Structure 1
Amino acid sequence: MQWKHKGWKGRWLWVMLAVALCPVLIAQKIGDPYKILGIHRKASLPEIRKAYKQLAKEWHPDKNENPNAESRFVEIKQAYELLSDTERRQAYDLYGITNEDEHLYKQRHDYSQYARFSNDPFEEFFGTHFRTQDQDITLFHKLSVTARHFENNIMEKSIHTPAIVLFYTDWCFECVRSAAAWRRLVAALQPLGVTMATVHAAHEAALARRVGVHTVPCLTLVLDKHVYIYKEGLTSLPKILEFVRWKFPYKLVRSINNDNVESFVSDFEDNKVKALIFEDRQTIRLRYLITAFHYRDRVAFGFVDMTARDAQNVTSRYKVQRQMDTMVLLKEDSEEPAATVSTTEIPTQTLHQLIEANQMLTLPRLSSQSVLEAVCPVEWRAPRRRLCCVLVARAAPPPGAAARALRRLARAAPDRLHYAYVYAHAQPAFVQALANGSGSDISEMEHRIVVIWRREATRVQYEWLNETWPTCGRAHCDQPGDLLRYQQQLNETKLALDRLLRRLLKTSEVMAYETYVQELVDESVRGPVWAALGRAAEWAERALAALRTQHALSALSAASVLATVALVLAAGYLMAYLIRVEEESVQRQKEERKKQNGSAKKNNNEPQSELRLHELRAEKYNGLVRLLKPGCRTIVLLVDMQSRVQLLSKFHKIVWPYRKNKTLVFAYLVVERNVGWFQRVLQLSLGGGELRVNARNAVGTVLALNPHRKYFCIYHAKHPECAKPHKRMSRMTRSLGGAGADPEAGAFIGFHTDPDSSSGDDAPDPPVLLQENLLDGLENWLDRLFEGSTHRYYINYWPDMTTK
């Protein structure tokens, strides 16, 4: 049938069809996501998110008047969705796949965030009368999360929110026994702000391996992007809570008494609000410790034990009642608390609400990008602009009189205006950008005030106050006349600043200067040397503290273990040194004996290292494979009668350097006699699927068998792991690995013969390998084998080898 479209109707039909197919084609294929987001290929997930947020704000259709802004915004969103998904990103890096077709991906389990199962599988199988409350694992399924949720949410949020994650499986009797303990743990920690989740170890096997889970149930603590495994049972709730407490940063909450309270509440150089927790007990509650970890970047916490004698003055100073938990928040004016709450046990929600409302100082310092985001948020709309009045100070800290005057203005400031100060020496790039944008000299900016409007994350509009903010130190205000002149100058500067702010808060007003700024330097980050010294001092203090607490036994046991290890290492080093000295002495005696004899004849009585190649057949199968000791491996070369001599000689030469390794056994297999055993091994690794093996194509294959662990590694010149696969092999790999099978099933494609796959295939056949080139890449493969970077194919059992 031929479609005639010579008329105008046919041409219009073609045009309409092309227009209709264009969006579909565009949706199926996007550009390079790394170039779209402007990041490198090894960028981490936080870097990807940061690039996406900046580009999304820049190209949002409501903010950008460019006619291509909408399509550009959609492209940025698609690139972010691709790279934020670990599996899609890996598929793009390996194969260039940008869409999410089901047949190109391994089947993933859908948990739908939480409540993955609507009913209990035990209830469906056994009935409700067999299920008891202590063995009800419904809560496991309700809290199940995927590996993507674990990485993108739990791991990322663990910087501020700790998480307890339990790895389990459905038919695990130990998991069933631990259901009641897990329910009590959730009831105890979830109200305190701890994220409670579970992971199905069978469905998320890759995540379980990466975390280091060996058995289920396995309880893990995710804290500050680190995963800690709890190695004891779930029966003891106090032990679990003590394990969680011990993993928090050391001295997260400082112990306060009469001697150090003044230095704690008066030192605001760390740019943090001070919080005092008063309790009638010796150790701080876990709920307050978790809250301190959540707000550690903004608030410095101190703990006061009201039962101690050296803390009575602190208790009476802030008028705290006994038998009542009290939290006092202090800002720059330490004598007047910014907020106070007192009850028998302060709820976590109350703690968060009180700290959220008072987490910034009255006059904060722009000491990091996060502080800048909180004090000077981005607002691109002119009617809702937010101004940030910043004092540029070169001294540390700024003069007290100037800071007090700005603090008074900050307390009476409207919602759209915030006050802050910045150190010019600590943030040179930020101050230099403001100076360059206005053509000012950076050396003349001491005590200058700049009013900033952040329209975008990196673009700011600003204007300088012409008057310099006055200071009144001891050298300037000793005399009454100097103090009067200072007050007069301060009042004039306040009036000028008030006029400037009133003018800039108007919607129609335009600021004088505009510039681009970089991210602020985090002043709290220490250098690598200081960080290492701090960690060493922290561990020393932890050890001393453990000796005075209930961790003394564990600390002593740890010290004894370290001493034992050190003793064993010292003894091993001494033995190795003595053996080396003895060998050198024997070698010198041999050389002297040869010189005395005056001949270099070979001594036939000396033992010579040799390498034996065993033939793997039914009579030696148990000794070479099944009964091999744990930790030993058998390296087997597959040959036929035609290539036996040539391949065995080359194989012997390649493995000769490993002849002294007592854990390696070398053998060869004649494929004409035992091709059925080789085919059965491949089928077991593929899950029992049908597979046809061509004996001739199997020649040159090397199998590294680990009988005890029940897995093997495979080498062949056409193996995708050893060389880049041919296009035809790639298509056959996808067809063999589809329908939920192992994606590594295509690794055996070099031995698979399918007469139908070659018909109708326009691609040329893969190049033919010569017999002498089959083992060219074996040396590199052996290096990767012993490094552990080769893929492992697991089987349930080793098949029998029949006698022929």
Structure 2
Amino acid sequence: MLMTKFGRVSTCCFAFLLLLYCSAIVSSLGDPYKILGVSRHASLADIRRAYKQLAKEWHPDKSSDPDAERKFVEIKQAYELLSDAERRRVYDQHGITNEDSHMFREPHDYSQYGRFAPDPFEEFFGHRFHFDQDISLFHKLSITTKYYEQNIVPKSRLVPHILFFYADWCFSCMKAANSFKKMIDSLEPLGIVFATVNAGHESQLLRKTGVHSLPCIVLVLNGHNYVYKESIYSLQKIVDFVRHKMPYKLIQTVNDSNLEEFLNGWSDNRVRALIMEPRNQPRLRYIITAYGYRHRVAFGFIHLNTKETQLTQERFKVHPSLDTLLIFNEDSARPVASVSMADIPTQTLVNVISANQYLVLPRLSSQEMLDGVCPTEWNRPRKRLCVVLITENTEAHNDARHVLRKIALQGGYNAERVRFAYIYQDKQSDFVNALSKGITDNDMLLRLVVIWRRDTSHIKYEWINGAKLNINRQEKESEEQTMNQTKQKLDDTIQRLLRSTEALSYEALVKDLLDEHAQGLLGRVFSKMLLVVEYFADNLGQEHILPALSVVATVGFILAVGYLMAYLVRVEEENIKKRGVKLENNNAAKQTYVPELKLHELRAEKYNGLVRLLKPGCRTVVLITDLQSRSKLIPGFHKAVWPYRKNKTLMFSHMLIEKGLSWFSELLRLSLPEQRDLQINPRNCIGTVLVLNGHRKYFCMYHAKHPESKRGAKRMLKMTRHLSTLPNSDPEAGAFLGMQDSDSSENSENDAKILLEENLLDGLSNWLDRVFEGTTHRYYINYWPDFPTK
């Protein structure tokens, strides 16, 4: 009984101590939601937006409040907690704000990179107990699926990673432990990162990488997984496997014939690097280094001691038995850095290349390039300036870029504080247009602007007035004079802006730059197809190929049979149709076919076929209507021309005056040269019928209000003027050719002579008879005017 009470008291004490410990953890930070001023259901974007606003307000360099530093630290800690989904979930469930509170984590959760985690076998059996194949290294390098997605996949775009999948009680994994340890000792100094995955705890990652058996090695390269299929884990096979999976033509083979072409190809915005070795292929360490810097540096390989590279070896005075690295920066005659050793260490390679990975005058072709050349610096005393030349992708601006390149080489500026670059306005229009303040003539080309990036989206800038690099090639002293003037103004501006008390004049909010080197749609599709083919080639064995071939053959056989059946059905239908046509022809042998009258609409796309390209002897009859009268006039026109439907030399059409008014006006002007300024009333043109002879370039015209004369157009104009001056004359007689206002028909008091739309074509049949008899007047023109396209 006493022991039971003592156990209850111990349990209560333990719970009380645990509660005090949790309270101490919670009290390390207040409520992060209240600190940022957001609700518990706020999204990550709302949290990030609130953090940016508060960070600007409470930054110690901007705020004069004595508690600004403490408040800024609280805001940063609250943002770090809420931006991490795992820590936010733990806080919402348990109220824990300390990220090191491991007592509430679930078992077997390697949420942190476990390189230095204790070995469970050593803890259980003691340090003196060891297996023949020690697997403690597997546990120290274990990672989780979350770590794989957030760290390994992004980093694999620059650094290759090798994952080793194992299980706790896998005897094959234990046998491979020593080989894996030797592999790490040999390949990790070359730049490859190693990690292990416990297959029993990370089944999701097991399925994602395509692992089918244990142990298994997976190479993660540029976000893609490549499974090692060999059963022997020898170092040489792993090296060959990594070599084979590297990008195609990562290092170009260079000799005496293509050396100049390679060194002068820096127009792709990359530095040139030559790797010279006394062997026929580069070492793996050079390949891995070239993979990490492939977006900034183009690598070439030269095999020493051969006839094809003898001139290059003598030109750069390279030792024939040493490995040599030469880096060229926009100058093929002299390298900017060189290293010669029997075995160049990876860290030496990285130090030399990283210090020379940007051109003297690089192009801001992507956001990554902008971050490297013009990094952000919010602290005003340490601000970094970037001088940018606004150009276009044309050879005419090469001289301006050359001048700025010479200024960058001869200027003597501190590379850590001042960098030079140029940008294409036509490709990065959003970024350049955001810098429009301070330009009076809106002409930014060949101008210099100094920018200071305070963060990723806000920049401050100032234009260098009078420093427009517009070089006249015809003047020999133009380039030198322009360079001297520009350098003087640039020196004065930079020295002034580098002072901590000086501020740049303008501020802008900019978007990320477009990636000019990104693949197009066809390129991405082709790359995906190559990855699919490579995936099937790596993952399909002999046991998978035969079933796949049988499935493909079955599907192909079904498609072939279906196509054959559809072909036979189509042939039978055609035979039935032929027999039906023959039967109809026998029953109606005496019947004759009456051709249908086709009425075309005169438009721009049909104008050549209906008018200009008519064969000799052929004519086109055109009715002019508008949208309101088309339904009323076309039936009467159809009735009038129906007797001539069988005439193969005639074509019939109608035209909307709204579309062809300009064409009709030009046609009348050509036929009536005395009237150069015709004012055509479109409403009075409806009901006009034209017979056009495209080959002989003349037309006949019918209108209900205008009698025609054999003496030509002069008498017609005289008659229209006479009709318009009579007191009781027809008001529409002169309005047709612009002799009166268009409203004269509405103001006329003689309504008895106004024709309705239904009666405009009453005399068309008689007029057509005279046309084909040749008694109507013909209006000749020199050429057919163009028909409007709109």
RMSD: 4.2
Q: CA deviation at 1:469?
A: 3.5
- Judged with a 3 Å threshold, the aligned counterparts in structure 2 of structure 1 residues 491 and 533 are, in CA distance, closer, same or farther, namely same
- Judged with a 3 Å threshold, the aligned counterparts in structure 2 of structure 1 residues 131 and 267 are, in CA distance, closer, same or farther, namely same
2:487 aligned counterpart, secondary structure? helix
Asked whether the equivalents of residues 111 and 146 of structure 2 are also in contact (C-alpha less than 8 Å), the reply is no
State whether structure 2 residue 213 is matched by structure 1 residue 215.
yes
How far does the alpha carbon of each residue in 1:591-632 deviate from its partner, in whole angstroms, 9 at most, with x for none? xxxxxxxxxxxxxxxxxxxxxxxxxxxxxxxxxxxxxxxxxx
Task: State which structure, 1 or 2, has the greater radius of gyration over its C-alpha atoms.
Answer: 2
Asked whether the equivalents of residues 44 and 83 of structure 2 are also in contact (C-alpha less than 8 Å), the reply is no
Q: Tell me what 2:31 maps to.
A: 26
State whether structure 2 residue 345 is matched by structure 1 residue 340.
no
Question: What is the distance in 2 between the residues matched to 1:362 and 1:255?
Answer: 25
Q: CA deviation at 1:113?
A: 3.1
Taking structure 2 as the reference length, what is the TM-score of the superposition?
0.60
State whether structure 2 residue 524 is matched by structure 1 residue 492.
no
Q: CA deviation at 1:32?
A: 5.1
Give the alignment partner of residue 525 of structure 2, picking from 532, 557, 564: 532
Question: What is the distance in 1 between the residues matched to 2:563 and 2:414?
Answer: 80
- Judged with a 3 Å threshold, the aligned counterparts in structure 2 of structure 1 residues 392 and 559 are, in CA distance, closer, same or farther, namely farther
Give the alignment partner of residue 238 of structure 1, picking from 220, 236, 239: 236
Give the alignment partner of residue 303 of structure 1, picking from 301, 304, 326: 301
How far does the alpha carbon of each residue in 1:656-682 deviate from its partner, in whole angstroms, 9 at most, with x for none? xxxxxxxxxxxxxxxxxxxxxxxxxxx
Q: Tell me what 2:45 maps to.
A: 38
How far does the alpha carbon of each residue in 1:311-364 deviate from its partner, in whole angstroms, 9 at most, with x for none? 333333322222211111011112110101111111101000101111111111
- Judged with a 3 Å threshold, the aligned counterparts in structure 2 of structure 1 residues 396 and 303 are, in CA distance, closer, same or farther, namely farther
Q: CA deviation at 1:90?
A: 7.7
Question: What is the distance in 1 between the residues matched to 2:414 and 2:349?
Answer: 26
Q: CA deviation at 1:247?
A: 1.6
How far does the alpha carbon of each residue in 1:441-477 deviate from its partner, in whole angstroms, 9 at most, with x for none? 54x22211111122232222211112243354xxx44
1:422 aligned counterpart, secondary structure? strand
Asked whether the equivalents of residues 328 and 341 of structure 1 are also in contact (C-alpha less than 8 Å), the reply is yes
Letter in 1 for 2:500: T
Matches within 5 A, 1:263-662: 263-306=261-304, 308-396=306-394, 399-411=397-409, 412-415=412-415, 416-435=417-436, 437-442=437-442, 444-472=443-471, 476-478=472-474, 482-533=475-526, 569-575=552-558, 578=561
- Judged with a 3 Å threshold, the aligned counterparts in structure 2 of structure 1 residues 66 and 509 are, in CA distance, closer, same or farther, namely closer
Q: Tell me what 1:204 maps to.
A: 202
- Judged with a 3 Å threshold, the aligned counterparts in structure 2 of structure 1 residues 277 and 567 are, in CA distance, closer, same or farther, namely farther
Question: What is the distance in 2 between the residues matched to 1:227 and 1:470?
Answer: 50
Letter in 2 for 1:417: V
Asked whether the equivalents of residues 373 and 419 of structure 2 are also in contact (C-alpha less than 8 Å), the reply is yes
Q: Tell me what 2:7 maps to.
A: none
1:453 aligned counterpart, secondary structure? strand
Q: CA deviation at 1:76?
A: 6.2
Structure 1, 142-151 or 567-576: larger mean CA deviation: 567-576
Question: What is the distance in 2 between the residues matched to 1:402 and 1:570?
Answer: 63
Question: What is the distance in 1 between the residues matched to 2:75 and 2:43?
Answer: 8
Q: CA deviation at 1:84?
A: 3.5
Q: CA deviation at 1:194?
A: 0.9
Q: Tell me what 2:191 maps to.
A: 193
Q: CA deviation at 1:258?
A: 2.6
Q: Tell me what 2:152 maps to.
A: 154
Question: What is the distance in 1 between the residues matched to 2:504 and 2:267?
Answer: 32
Q: CA deviation at 1:498?
A: 1.8
Q: CA deviation at 1:572?
A: 3.5
Structure 1, 236-245 or 97-106: larger mean CA deviation: 97-106
- Judged with a 3 Å threshold, the aligned counterparts in structure 2 of structure 1 residues 217 and 90 are, in CA distance, closer, same or farther, namely farther
**Number of aligned positions between the proteins:** 533
- Judged with a 3 Å threshold, the aligned counterparts in structure 2 of structure 1 residues 324 and 560 are, in CA distance, closer, same or farther, namely farther
- Judged with a 3 Å threshold, the aligned counterparts in structure 2 of structure 1 residues 334 and 561 are, in CA distance, closer, same or farther, namely farther
Structure 1, 217-226 or 198-207: larger mean CA deviation: 198-207
Q: CA deviation at 1:369?
A: 1.4
Structure 1, 530-539 or 417-426: larger mean CA deviation: 530-539
2:476 aligned counterpart, secondary structure? helix
1:366 aligned counterpart, secondary structure? coil
Asked whether the equivalents of residues 274 and 326 of structure 2 are also in contact (C-alpha less than 8 Å), the reply is yes
Q: CA deviation at 1:80?
A: 4.5
Q: Tell me what 1:15 maps to.
A: none
How far does the alpha carbon of each residue in 1:718-745 deviate from its partner, in whole angstroms, 9 at most, with x for none? xxxxxxxxxxxxxxxxxxxxxxxxxxxx
Taking structure 1 as the reference length, what is the TM-score of the superposition?
0.59
Q: Tell me what 1:785 maps to.
A: none
Asked whether the equivalents of residues 33 and 40 of structure 2 are also in contact (C-alpha less than 8 Å), the reply is no
Question: What is the distance in 1 between the residues matched to 2:264 and 2:532?
Answer: 28
Letter in 2 for 1:414: N
Q: CA deviation at 1:377?
A: 1.9
Q: CA deviation at 1:276?
A: 0.9
2:162 aligned counterpart, secondary structure? strand
1:438 aligned counterpart, secondary structure? coil
2:287 aligned counterpart, secondary structure? helix
Letter in 2 for 1:452: I
Asked whether the equivalents of residues 116 and 144 of structure 1 are also in contact (C-alpha less than 8 Å), the reply is no
Letter in 2 for 1:512: S
Question: What is the distance in 2 between the residues matched to 1:256 and 1:537?
Answer: 27
Matches within 5 A, 1:42-81: 58=56, 61-65=59-63, 74=74, 77-81=77-81
Letter in 2 for 1:445: M
Asked whether the equivalents of residues 54 and 75 of structure 2 are also in contact (C-alpha less than 8 Å), the reply is no
Asked whether the equivalents of residues 32 and 78 of structure 2 are also in contact (C-alpha less than 8 Å), the reply is no
Q: CA deviation at 1:484?
A: 2.6
How far does the alpha carbon of each residue in 1:56-101 deviate from its partner, in whole angstroms, 9 at most, with x for none? 964663355397987687456545444444x567889xx9998579
Question: What is the distance in 1 between the residues matched to 2:123 and 2:502?
Answer: 69
Q: CA deviation at 1:111?
A: 7.6
Letter in 2 for 1:573: G
- Judged with a 3 Å threshold, the aligned counterparts in structure 2 of structure 1 residues 490 and 349 are, in CA distance, closer, same or farther, namely closer
Asked whether the equivalents of residues 32 and 82 of structure 2 are also in contact (C-alpha less than 8 Å), the reply is no
Letter in 2 for 1:454: R
Question: What is the distance in 1 between the residues matched to 2:445 and 2:177?
Answer: 64
Q: Tell me what 2:109 maps to.
A: 109
Q: Tell me what 1:712 maps to.
A: none
1:342 aligned counterpart, secondary structure? strand
Question: What is the distance in 1 between the residues matched to 2:553 and 2:89?
Answer: 46
Q: CA deviation at 1:209?
A: 3.5
Q: Tell me what 2:121 maps to.
A: 121
Question: What is the distance in 2 between the residues matched to 1:277 and 1:54?
Answer: 46
Asked whether the equivalents of residues 365 and 420 of structure 1 are also in contact (C-alpha less than 8 Å), the reply is yes
Question: What is the distance in 1 between the residues matched to 2:529 and 2:249?
Answer: 14
Asked whether the equivalents of residues 277 and 323 of structure 2 are also in contact (C-alpha less than 8 Å), the reply is yes
Letter in 1 for 2:375: P
Matches within 5 A, 1:698-709: none
- Judged with a 3 Å threshold, the aligned counterparts in structure 2 of structure 1 residues 98 and 288 are, in CA distance, closer, same or farther, namely farther
Give the alignment partner of residue 224 of structure 2, picking from 223, 226, 230: 226
Structure 1, 342-351 or 210-219: larger mean CA deviation: 210-219
State whether structure 2 residue 176 is matched by structure 1 residue 178.
yes
